[in-house]
Chain A
Amino acid sequence: MSDIDRVVTVPIGPQHPALKEPESFMVDLRGEKIDAVRIRFGYNHRGIEKGCETRSYTQDLYLVERVCGICSFSHSTAFIHAVEEIAGLEVPVRAKYIRTIIGELERIHSHLLWLGVAGHEIGFDTLLMYTWRDREQVMILLARLTGNRVNYGINTYGGVRRDIAPDMMPEILKVVDSLEERTKHYIELAMREQTLIQRLSGVGKLSKEDALFLGTVGPTARASGVDRDARRDDPYLAYPDLEFKVVIDDHCDVYGRTIVRLGELMQTYSILRQLIKKIPDGPITVKAPRRIPEGEAVSRYEAPRGEDVHYVRGNGTEKPERVKVRAPTLANTASVGKMLEDGYLADLPIVVAAIDPCFSCTDRMVGVRESGTESRGAGRKTMTWEEVSRYGVEWHKARGLDFSSLGIPGGIEA
C-alpha cells in the first residue's frame, strides 16, 4: 500500500463553500492529514488605499468604512482617529461615548456572527441558526440607532452625525439584557456539549511563543495567553473611563478562541451598561477643517477580530497623501499555516474560521415604490423601521411563509 504515502493536493478556494470570500488554500494531504498548506491572497483586491489618495477626506471616510462589511465601524474609527490627530481636533465627550457604544454593539454582532459561522464549519447548523437569530436583535438595534445594519456611516470628522435619543437608551439595555441571557446559554453549551468540545479542543494549536513570533492579534492571540488589548493598553474614546477585564485563555486552540469570544461578549455587555450610565450631555460634533494640515499619524483600534492599524499622511490639501490599512486578518493569516500543521482536512474550515477572517459583505439597498410609478416623485414612499419589518413579514406571509409565528425578539410582530 505505497499509495498511502501519496500526497494529494486539494484546492480549498478561491471558490469554496467553506470560504465566504475568495482566498486560496492549497492543501497537501496524506490520507486525511494535512502535510502542508500554501495560502494565497489578492483575489479581493479593490485598490481602496490608492482610491483614498484620489478622493477628499470626507469621501475617504465612506470608502474606508467599506473595507469590511462586519467591522466597518472599526475601520472608519481607526481612520478618523488618525485624521483627527493630524488635524488636532478635540472630539466632544458625548461623541466619544456614542462612538464607543456603536463600536461595542458592533463587537456583539461580530462575535455572535463568528459563533454561528464556527458552528456551521463544524456541521452544527443549529448553533448557526440560533446565534444568528439572536444576532438579529443587535442588527435591528444598530439599524434603529444609525439607519443601517452595516456600514453605519455615523462617524464624521470632529464627532458623530447622529445623536442617540434618550428614549433609545432603555432599548439598548433591553437588547443587552436579552443577549446576556442568551450568551450565558451559549457558554453553558460550550462547556457541556460533547460533540462541540470534541471538534474544537486540541484543534489548531498555537503556542504563546508562536503567537508572539507570528504577530497574532485579537481574540486569536488572547486565546494563546497573549495579554494584549488596544482598548486597555492604548486607551482611546471612552475606554479610559470604563472598567473591563481583558479575557485571556490558555487553551491555545479553537476551543480557547471560542471561550475568549464568549467571555468578551460578557465584558461588552457590562461595558455597554457603564456607557449608558455615564454618557454625558453636550454637543456631538465640532467643526472640522476641509484641509487637513501636513503631518502623519498611526492609530490603533481594537476591532472584534483584533488590532486594526491605520496610517494616514496628510499634505495640507483636501486629499491624503498616503493611507495604509493593516486589517487584523492580515496579521492573523501567518499563524493559520502554523495552526494547520499536522491537522486533519476536516479541521481546516474551523481553523481558518477561528481567526474570524474578515468577510466582505455587500451593502444592502431596498427601494420601495408603488408599481407603475417612478422611483422618485409621487410613487416614492418613505417607510419607518416598523413598516419595513411588517412589510417583510407580510410579503413572505402572502407567499406561504409565516415568520410572525417565530416571534423574532426585537422585531415587529405582524
Chain B
Amino acid sequence: MSWVVAGVNILIFPGMFFLLVLGLAGQFVDRKLYARLQSRVGPPWFQPVADFFKLLGKESVIPEEADRRMFVMAPVFALAAVVAAYLYIPLWSTKPIFSFYGDLVVVLYLLLIPTLTFFLGGWYSRSIFSTLGAVRSITQLFAYEIPLLIALLSPALLADTWSISGMTAYYQAHPWYWLFNLIGLGVALVTLLGKLERVPFDAPEAETEIVAGSFTEYSGRHLAFFRMAIDAEAIVSSSLVAAVFLPFGLGLPLWLGIIVYLAKLAGILFVLALLRTVFARLRMDQMINFCWRYVAPIAFLQVIIDLVLKEFL
C-alpha cells in the first residue's frame, strides 16, 4: 500500500472525513428519531453541521483556574482516539484499513480514551460542577466497561481470534453463528448507552443537577471538538458492535456493502434512541447496582454459552 493511498484511506475515505460526516449524520438521525418519538418535529438535516460551525465561530473561554494545556488537549485527544479506533474496524468487508492480531483489545482501549478525556477535561476545569461530572464519568466507567468488554470478547472466544478482521472472517465462514451472540448484543447496546452517557445513564452530564458535568466550562471550538468526538464515538462504537455482533453481508460489492453497513448503523442508532426515549435517568448508585447486578452476570452468561459452543462446534 503506497503512502498516498494510505493517506487517503486514513484522512478521507473510509477514515476521518467519512467518520465525521457519519458522526454528524448520526447525530441528526438520533435527534430526529428522539424528537419524533416524543411527538416533536425535530431539527432539519443540516442542524448538526450548523451547530458545529457556529460553535467553531464562538469565543472559547478558558477558566483562569483551569490547567490550560490539559483543558485544550482533552477534546483533541478524544477525537484523535476515536478516529484511530475507526481504522481498525471492518465496515463493509472483512478487511479494515489496518489490522493485526489483537486489534480488538486495542480498539477497546482506544474507545476508553474519550471517557478518560471527559474525566481529565472536567477535572482540570477546576469548577465544582465539572469536577463532580468528571468523578461521575469515571465512576460510571467502572460500572459499564467490564460488562461491555466481556460482551465484546465472547464472540472472539468462539471465533478463537483476537483480531476483529479474523472474527468477521470466521463468522463469514459460518454464516448463522452470530445468532449465538444475541445476548451479548443486548448487553453491548445497554452498556453503549453508558459509554455515550445517554439517558438512562447520563448522570455524568445531568443538566438539572450538575449543569453539563465535565463540559460545563467548555465553550467555542473546544466544546465543538468534544461534541464532534462524542458523535464520532457513537458511530465508531456502533460500527464495532455491528462488526462483532452483526457480521453478515460483508462479501458484497462495495456500493451494496456500504448500504448494508449504513442500515446496520441506522438500526443500532434507532435502538439507542428508543432506549433513551423510554427511560428516566438513573442515579449513580442505581446505575452501578444495575450494571453489576444484572448486566455483568448476563454478559458472563454469554461467555459461558460461547465456551460451551466452542467445545461442540
Contact = CB atoms under 8 A, between A and B. Distances in A.
Interface string A320-350: 0000000000000000000000001111110
B132 A10 contact: yes
B128 A32 contact: no
Contacts of A196: 280
B211 A124 contact: no
Interface residues of B, number: 29
Contacts of A16: 211
Interface in B201-230: 202-203, 206-211
Interface in B160-210: 199-200, 202-203, 206-210
A145 interface: no
A123 B132 CA distance: 17
A198 B286 CA distance: 8
Interface stretch (B38-46, B102-110, B235-243): B38-46
Chain B CB within 10 A, most for which of A123, A124, A195, A198: A123
Nearest to A401: B41
B38 A123 contact: no
A133 interface: yes
B281 A123 contact: yes
Interface in B252-296: 277-286
B123 interface: no
A362 interface: no
A130 B206 CA distance: 20
A367 interface: no
Nearest to B129: A10
Contacts of A195: 200, 279-282
Contact of B208 (A8, A18, A126, A396): A18
A403 B209 CA distance: 32
B309 interface: no
B41 A349 contact: no
A123 to B, nearest CB: 3
A348 B132 CA distance: 15
B39 to A, nearest CB: 6
Given A8-B128, A32-B284, A119-B280, A129 B208 contact: no
A123 B128 contact: no
Contacts of A17: 207-208, 211
B37 interface: yes
A198 B38 contact: no
A301 B148 CA distance: 56
Interface string A190-211: 0001011011000000000000
Contacts of A120: 208
Nearest to A197: B280
A10 B279 contact: no
- For chain A, what secondary structure do more than half of its interface residues adopt (helix, strand, loop), or is it mixed? helix
B206 A123 contact: yes
A117 to B, nearest CB: 10
Contact of A344 (B44, B279, B281, B283): B283
B280 A199 contact: yes
Nearest to B40: A129
Contacts of B40: 129, 406
A18 B209 contact: yes
Interface in A146-191: none
Nearest to B38: A129
A282 interface: no
Contacts of B44: 400-401
A32 to B, nearest CB: 6
B199 A125 contact: yes
Nearest to B281: A123
A326 B286 CA distance: 39
A14 to B, nearest CB: 13
A344 B38 CA distance: 29
A356 to B, nearest CB: 15
Contacts of A10: 128-129, 132, 210
B213 to A, nearest CB: 11
Contact of A124 (B39, B207, B280): B280
A349 B38 contact: no
A345 B128 CA distance: 13
A127 B206 CA distance: 16
A31 B280 CA distance: 22
Given A11-B128, A16-B211, A32-B285, A123 B280 contact: yes
A349 B280 CA distance: 14
A241 interface: no
Chain B CB within 10 A, most for which of A17, A129, A346: A346
Contacts of A133: 39
Contacts of B39: 129-130, 133, 406
A126 B206 contact: no
A403 to B, nearest CB: 6
Contacts of A11: 128
A17 B133 CA distance: 15
Interface string A384-414: 0000000000001000111101100000000
Contacts of A279: none
A120 B208 CA distance: 8
B281 A199 contact: yes
Interface string A93-135: 0000000000000000000000000011111111101100100
Nearest to B41: A401
Contacts of A122: 208, 280-281
A134 to B, nearest CB: 10
Contacts of B286: 198-199
Contact of B283 (A8, A121, A347, A400): A347
Contacts of B209: 18, 345-346, 348-349
A123 B129 contact: no
B278 A126 contact: yes
A351 to B, nearest CB: 11
21 contacts: A10-B128, A10-B132, A11-B128, A17-B211, A18-B207, A120-B208, A123-B199, A123-B200, A124-B199, A126-B277, A127-B280, A129-B39, A133-B39, A198-B282, A199-B283, A345-B210, A346-B281, A346-B284, A402-B41, A406-B39, A406-B40
Interface of A: 8-11, 16-18, 32, 119-127, 129-130, 133, 193, 195-196, 198-199, 344-349, 396, 400-403, 405-406
Given A120-B208, A124-B279, A195-B281, 5 more contacts: A8-B132, A10-B132, A119-B280, A122-B280, A130-B39
Nearest 5 A-B pairs (CB), nearest first? A123-B281, A124-B280, A129-B38, A18-B208, A349-B208
